[in-house]
Amino acid sequence: MIPAAFEYYRPTDMDGVLAILAEHGDDARVLAGGHSLIPMMKLRMAEVPHLIDLQDVGGLKGITVEGGTIRLGAMTTQTEIIGSDTLTAAAPILREASLQIADPQVRYMGTIGGNVANGDPGNDMPGLMQCLDATFHLIGPDGTRYVAARDFYEAAYMTDREDDEVLTAVSFDQPVGGYAYEKQKRKIGDYATAAAAVQIVKEGGKCTSASIAMTNLSDTPIYSQEAGAALVGTVVDDAAMDAAVAAMLGDIDPTEDNRGPIEFKRHVASLILRRAIARAWSRA
Amino acid sequence: MKDDITREDRVDALGGMGCKRKRVEDARFTQGKGNYVDDIKLPGMLFGDFVRSPYAHARITSINKEAALAIDGVVAVLTAEDLAPLGLHWMPTLAGDKQMVLADGKVLFQGQEVAFIVAKDRYVAADAVEMLDVQYEELPVITDPYEALQSDVVLREDLDTNVPGAHGPRKHHNHIFTWEVGDEPATNQVMDDAEVVAEESMYYHRTHPCPLETCGSVASMDKINGKLTLWGTFQAPHVVRTVASMLSGIEEHNIRVVSPDIGGGFGNKVGVYPGYICSIVASIVTGKPVKWVEDRMENLMSTAFARDYWMKGKISATKDGKITGLHCHVTADHGAFDACADPTKFPAGFMNICTGSYDIPVAYLGVDGVYTNKAPGGVSYRCSFRVTEAVYFIERMIEVLAIKLNMDSAELRRINFIRKDQFPYKAALGWEYDSGDYHTAWDKALKAVDYDGLRAEQAQRVEDFKAGKTRKLMGVGLSFFTEIVGAGPVKNCDILGMGMFDSCEIRIHPTGSAIARLGTISQGQGHATTFAQILATEIGLPADSITIEEGDTDTAPYGLGTYGSRSTPVAGAATALAGRKIRAKAQMIAAYLLEVHDSDVEFDVDRFTVKGAPEKFKTMKEIAYAAYNQAIPGLEPGLEAVSYYDPPNMTYPFGAYVCVMDVDVDTGVTDIRRFYALDDCGTRINPMIIDGQIHGGLTEALAVALGQEIAYDKQGNVKTGTLMDFFLPTAWEVPNYETDFTVTPSPHHPIGAKGVGESPHVGGVPCFSNAVNDAFRAFGLTHTNMPHDHWRIWKTANALGLHD
Amino acid sequence: MSNKMHIKLTVNGEAHEFLAEPRELLIHTLRERLDITGPHIGCETTHCGACTVTMNGKSVKSCTVFVAQANGADLTTIEGIGDPDNLHALQTSFKEHHGLQCGFCTPGMITRAAKFLEENPNPTEEDVRFGMAGNLCRCTGYQNIVKAILATADELNAAKEAAE
Ligand SMILES: Cc1cc2nc3c(=O)[nH]c(=O)nc-3n(C[C@H](O)[C@H](O)[C@H](O)COP(=O)(O)OP(=O)(O)OC[C@H]3O[C@@H](n4cnc5c(N)ncnc54)[C@H](O)[C@@H]3O)c2cc1C
Ligand code: FES
Ligand code: FES
């Protein structure tokens, strides 16, 4: 399992990155933690003649919570997310989800930017970002543009990001209410059989808003607007849950793999969502 | 000498049998100073890498080496054509078949070795692998053994169906052998006459031993001296030397095979693989040392699968549950070549131990081996030859029968156990069990777990489930296993004609320390620690003063290696007996020094004393010195001994396991709440190491039962080729185990020891599986196949209507 | 073949400089180039943790790091965790509690455990199992590894208390 040879660059600023991207087009790729890209390169399933390491590029790290907005620099690692008390106080769902990703060593290297930019339907952060209605900050030759996480994913490994763009940060409004990230997997180190991200707001005993996104149940993460809507205005009783689950099932499109056949995945998706809603509601 | 040292102190000072001696191996391993195959680095060493077939069945229409050879640093590209003149493009398998070293005209499984690239390092080799141009013409693929036996597609075009195979006539071009044991007409008769007959079909899926270190070798041909040195991950280095000699024509004395530290074997490293042969040939061709180390995907795809047995069983009994007969038929999927690592006369290993721990008067076993487009192998994954399959079969059949009888399966076992007074017990399928006390072990186990309490809790859980209070069922998994380990005896067990004895050679040094060399090889079992303990007790020198050396064929006496839990039963016996030879000579020396007759001295812990006058003695240390520093009339100088031990029988460790498991019927997630393991391995040499072996074996059993498999799709693609999909549990998925024991020494073994390393796997798999099956018993399930991963459990629950 | 790069690494306190292809995997740099063979290769797919080393204070799987990425890094391998005259408490404890068998996982296991105990000096058993879940062992069933790590935590804490 040895990758093909490549040219390696370690620019120290974004201009440097963009220049290399401009020069080599889709022959160039950026490298963050490398824990999705390097395994693919080792299997020679990804060929990257020009590899641009982002580790020394300034301004890509860090977590800020300001004026109700949370911003995570693209190079923030999962370990840093888990370890940030500020972030955990502001948006505890990030820690809960991150702890369910891979293992300690992988979390030390894996970044939020790589996780959302990768486009692998197995990644957990994209669904979470959709749940939080996050915005992705992309910088390219023409400057910065902002794309909603909910509009970003097109198909497996296909995103709205152009080859000459770099994701610099994700940001989202500080979530309110209850939260839960539920994930079923076969073992530590496995991607989800099914996972659900839920944020719920409760006012006067009723749900006033709910956001639901599912992971690894389609070729993109699935933000199920209708599932969330099904909870709004209810006391999140069985009927409301049934409706939310039914709506979610209408949105996902899982495929069979070693984690199981389609019917099983749909079943687990329902269950996971029920549990996530219940837990989020109990915390709301 | 002062008297304040008691006899007990002297025993303790030896660190002999029975104590929890800390391992001498650990210093180097904990400091990163182990010496594994991939750590070996020789001047000028080249690296070999395989080009493998992407197809499960295809004809090779061309191989063009040009582009690969053009890469700077590529030294050679070997194909079957290059090996043919040397007669090395095929090699004999341990099962009497032959196997392509490099694809000869066609490929028969995905991942098969097609060409061997030799390059200056692994990076260049990997680049060249990408560049080798191989053209294939796809052929129809067969991955199902039943289909194989019906199909017109001929997998092995090199074989003539009319010519009998190594194990007798072949019924079909994809058939390998039929092996029958027992009395089929009598068994059928019993079934016909029986009050109750239970039947079940079960598939013991294909899996893989997957030690943490993959297989590899380094071959170094010294053309000047005509000597070949081969380091490798070999569980049986001497056999490798003999095979290497027979294949290469190099005389055996000119071949040195070394097994350095081995990163786990579990059966994976018993076989001879194309990589070993290719590294040898490449070294001969290039005159340079050549290293080959497979990666994990290659390991899972091409070396040594385990199991893949389709078993059909019938068990008959009286209304009160006394078993009257057992019938078993196996369709064994051996893959593309029959490379099973079994003793020659046992093409299905010791599957005929499938009557288990029960007194079953009549039985029959028939096994049909079949070729398919899957990788060859069929090794004993942490068990004696096919014993895991046998024990799984009978322990499932017992449960199935209990359901049919509407009886408690613990009770059913109890009334059918072979009784203590029946040992030595001759089983219906031929084996003579040396010893056992099953009832005592069973009662102890059931009491320890409060079996009745568990059943009551389970019944309550069923009520709660029906009342909608929980979605988790509770399973109580039971298993009682009898292992058969320690092959030989030589008269009926051999590997490629080599009798399955083992050996030990001891040299006592003048200052009272020693070195012992054995024909086995540790892969983590701690031989350097435990064999020294055996010797310490036998010869009265401290274990800390005894070096144990294994794995170098230039120095170690010939032995058949380590697998099938045979080291302690066979080499351990050889060690004890060699020790006794030392002691016999020491007795004569002691008598001379003490100026009494030989028969007037007796051995006492670490010395010989004059009978009736214990204050007159010579310590073993003094005796060792005397053996070298003075002429003793009638005795040769020195103190050395060799023993080759041919066991009179196998040993039969046994045990009783109980697993308590919660099963979530919706997610299919299982939670092991408790696991109790009672093992009886006879005399216990080192309880700490025994416990360690049990924890490890149970964890491997858990993996196999709950998810680990080598699965193929219809095109013969391996679906579980990395550790993402091939289930190796982490610390998070594994419970703590409770261990316990009884001691029933083997009557025929010099120290009464039986071997333990594989028991937990053999007994563990059915125990975990029975727990899952048992959870659903109240809802009408008789049997569901492993692996019990989430989706299969869900499917079982679904089929029982538990999601309605 | 791509151009070679000038690489500088500090491994176990010792500085190294050499030319290497950027694609060289750190595990190979250590094992083949620097003859630091404690870290092992068990899977090459980032699952087993046998190749675990500490890089700039993080536990990483060195089979999934290019040497180019590691340029300038400070690394610790099992060889730097302790030495024969001054073993790390984990090295003693693994032996004491029989936390290893074939030893193949052990260097990665101990290297990770050392970092883990820095992260969490007072772990529960569950913490240990979760914090060590990036390292596979095929031999021990983990029970004694967990025991060894918990015992080490106690020992280190006792030593710290005694020192205070
Ligand atoms: C054993 C194992 C188990 C895992 N399990 C999970 C899991 O359960 N859930 C999960 O979510 N992940 C899992 N992962 C993936 C892990 O979290 C990755 O680290 C993560 O997906 C990618 O982050 P990275 O920083 O390593 O990205 P890289 O591997 O460096 O990059 C991934 C891709 O994103 C691109 N990219 C990276 N950063 C940027 C950027 N700033 N702008 C534009 N493009 C960029 C790269 O070019 C590349 O194509 C697992 C990984 C392993 C090895
Ligand atoms: S070899 Fe690096 S994780 Fe297995
Ligand atoms: S001790 Fe062998 S893999 Fe852990």
Contact by Cβ (8 Å): B561, B236: yes
The pair phi, psi for residue A267, each rounded to 5°, is -60, -50
What's the C131 CA to ligand 2 centre distance in angstroms? 16
Q: CA–CA separation, B165 vs B471, rounded Å?
A: 53
Contact by Cβ (8 Å): A48, A28: yes
With pLDDT > 70 as the criterion, what percentage of chain B qualifies? 100
Average pLDDT value over all residues in chain C: 97
Domain that holds residue A144: 63-172
The residue among A251, A281, A257, A282 whose CA lies nearest residue A269 is: A251
Which pLDDT score is estimated for B735?
98
Cβ distance of A6 and C44 shorter than 8 Å: no
pLDDT at B2 over 60: no
pLDDT at B457 over 60: yes
Q: CA–CA separation, A76 vs A113, rounded Å?
A: 7
Verify whether ligand 2 is closer than 6 Å to residue C61 (CB atom).
yes
pLDDT band at C49, cuts 50/70/90? very high
Which pLDDT score is estimated for B3?
58
- The pair of structure tokens assigned to B422 is 């029946």
Mean pLDDT of all residues in C20-32: 98
* Same domain (yes/no): A185, A168: no
Which strand (E) or helix (H) includes residue B175? strand B175-182
The residue among B424, B212, B288, B380 whose CA lies nearest residue B758 is: B380
Which single residue is written with the structure tokens 């914090």? C131
Choose, from B215, B278, B383, B493, the residue flagged as catalytic: B383
Q: How far apart are the first and last CA of chain C?
A: 56
Cβ distance of B212 and C50 shorter than 8 Å: yes
The pair phi, psi for residue B479, each rounded to 5°, is -150, 140
CATH of the domain at A206: 3.30.390.50
Say what the pTM is.
Answer: 0.97
Domain boundary among A20, A35, A53: A53
Q: CA–CA separation, B804 vs B796, rounded Å?
A: 13
Cβ distance of B667 and A260 shorter than 8 Å: no
Mean pLDDT of all residues in B233-251: 91
Tell me whether residue A1 is in a domain: no
Domain count, chain A: 3
- The pair of structure tokens assigned to B147 is 């289909």
Domain boundary among A138, A172, A206: A172
Strand pairing class (B377-379; A222-223): unpaired
Q: CA–CA separation, B152 vs B208, rounded Å?
A: 30
Residue of A186, A271, A272 lying closest to B707 (CB–CB): A186
Contact by Cβ (8 Å): C117, C59: no
Please give the ipTM for the structure prediction: 0.98
CATH of the domain at A19: 3.30.43.10
Contact by Cβ (8 Å): A138, A166: yes
* Same domain (yes/no): A150, A195: no
Mean pLDDT of all residues in A91-101: 98
pLDDT band at B382, cuts 50/70/90? confident
Q: For residue C54, what are the contacts with CB-CB under 8 A and spacing of at least 6?
A: C60, C75, C76, C77, C111, C114, C115
Strand pairing class (B305-317; A135-140): unpaired
Contact by Cβ (8 Å): B765, B705: yes
Q: Which residues pair with A197 in a beta bridge?
A: A181, A213
Which pLDDT score is estimated for C1?
47
pLDDT band at C145, cuts 50/70/90? very high
B758 is catalytic: yes
CA distance A8 to chain C (A): 6
pLDDT at C2 over 60: no
Which residues in B lie closer than 8 A to residue C140 (C-beta atoms)?
A: 692, 695-696, 699
Say whether B173 sits in a helix, a strand or coil.
coil
Which pLDDT score is estimated for B432?
96
Question: Which of ligand 1's atoms lies nearest the C-alpha of A185?
Answer: 8
Alpha helices in B563-644, H assignment, sequence order: 573-594, 620-629
Tell me whether residue A191 is in a domain: yes
Amino acid at the residue B383: C
CATH of the domain at A110: 3.30.465.10
Tell me whether residue A2 is in a domain: no
Tell me whether residue A120 is in a domain: yes
The residue among B626, B620, B592 whose CA lies nearest residue B607 is: B620
Mean pLDDT of all residues in A236-261: 98
How many other CB atoms sit within 10 Å of the CB of residue B756?
Answer: 28
* Same domain (yes/no): A122, A188: no
Alpha-carbon torsion, ordered A61, A62, A66, A69, to 10 deg? 60
Residue of C3, C22, C134 lying closest to A104 (CB–CB): C134
Which strand (E) or helix (H) includes residue B414? helix B409-416
SS (H, E, C) chain A: CCCCCCEEECCCCHHHHHHHHHHHHHHEEEECCCCCHHHHHHCCCCCCCEEEECCCCCCCCCEEEECCEEEEECCCEHHHHHHCHHHHHHCHHHHHHHCCCCCHHHHHHCEHHHHHHHCCCCCCHHHHHHHCCCEEEEEECCEEEEEEHHHHEEECCEECCCCCCEEEEEEEECCCCEEEEEEECCCCCCCCCEEEEEEEEEECCEEEEEEEEEECCCCCCEECHHHHHHHCCCCCCHHHHHHHHHHHHHHCCCCCECCECHHHHHHHHHHHHHHHHHHHHHHC
Q: CA–CA separation, A268 vs B800, rounded Å?
A: 17
Whether residue B489 is preceded by a cis peptide bond, meaning omega within 30 degrees of 0, is: yes
What's the B731 CA to ligand 3 centre distance in angstroms? 12
Tell me whether residue A77 is in a domain: yes
pLDDT band at B738, cuts 50/70/90? very high
Tell me whether residue A34 is in a domain: yes
Mean pLDDT of all residues in A221-244: 98
Length in residues, chain A: 284
Mean pLDDT of all residues in B183-194: 98
Q: CA–CA separation, B150 vs B173, rounded Å?
A: 10
- The pair of structure tokens assigned to B634 is 């009638």
Choose, from B170, B382, B517, B777, the residue flagged as catalytic: B382
Average pLDDT value over all residues in chain B: 95
Domain boundary among A172, A204, A229: A172
- The pair of structure tokens assigned to C35 is 């003859």
B538 is catalytic: no
Domains defined along chain C, listed by start: 5-80 (3.10.20.30), 89-163 (1.10.150.120)
Mean pLDDT of all residues in A207-232: 98
Residue of C66, C118, C132 for testing the chain A interface, max A β-carbons within 10 Å: C66
Q: Which chains touch B (3 or more CB pairs under 8 A)?
A: A, C
Ligand nearest to the CA of A158: 1
B674 is catalytic: no
Residue B795 to residues A264, B206, B304, B785, Cα–Cα distance (Å): 8, 20, 30, 11
With pLDDT > 90 as the criterion, what percentage of chain B qualifies? 90
Tens of pLDDT, residues B326-367? 999 999 999 999 999 888 889 999 999 999 999 999 999 999
* Same domain (yes/no): A71, A40: no
Which residues have CB under 6 Å of ligand 3? B 212, 264, 524; C 100-106, 137-140
Cα B347–chain centre separation: 16
Tell me whether residue A76 is in a domain: yes
- The pair of structure tokens assigned to B801 is 């209507």
> Measured over all CA atoms, what is the biggest interatomic distance in chain A, rounded to whole angstroms?
61
Domains defined along chain B, listed by start: 7-34+502-645 (3.30.365.10), 37-139+214-262+270-302 (3.90.1170.50), 390-483+650-799 (3.30.365.10)
pLDDT at C77 over 70: yes
Whether residue B424 is preceded by a cis peptide bond, meaning omega within 30 degrees of 0, is: yes
Alpha-carbon torsion, ordered B348, B350, B354, B360, to 10 deg? 120
C-alpha triplet A241, A245, A250: angle, nearest 5°: 150
HSE-CB of A129 using CA atoms within 13 angstroms: 29
* Residue of chain B nearest C137, judged by CA positions: B212
Say whether C59 sits in a helix, a strand or coil.
strand
* Same domain (yes/no): A231, A196: yes
pLDDT at B1 over 50: no
Whether residue B488 is preceded by a cis peptide bond, meaning omega within 30 degrees of 0, is: yes
**String of b and e for B351-367 (b: at least 16 CB within 10 Å)?**
bbbbbbbbbbebbbbbb
Which pLDDT score is estimated for B804?
86
A109 touching chain C per CB within 8 A: yes
CA distance B127 to chain A (A): 7
How many other CB atoms sit within 10 Å of the CB of residue A233?
Answer: 12
Q: Which residues pair with B479 in a beta bridge?
A: B657
Alpha helices in B498-619, H assignment, sequence order: 527-539, 573-594
| DSSP calls for B27-51 | HHHHTT---BGGG---TT-EEEEEE
Mean pLDDT of all residues in B484-504: 87
* Same domain (yes/no): A214, A118: no
Q: How far apart are the first and last CA of chain A?
A: 47
How many other CB atoms sit within 10 Å of the CB of residue B81?
Answer: 13
Tell me whether residue A200 is in a domain: yes
Cα C153–chain centre separation: 17
A46 touching chain C per CB within 8 A: no
Q: CA–CA separation, B27 vs B318, rounded Å?
A: 58
The pair phi, psi for residue B472, each rounded to 5°, is -110, 130
Q: Which chains touch C (3 or more CB pairs under 8 A)?
A: A, B
Alpha helices in B194-315, H assignment, sequence order: 237-248, 274-286, 296-302
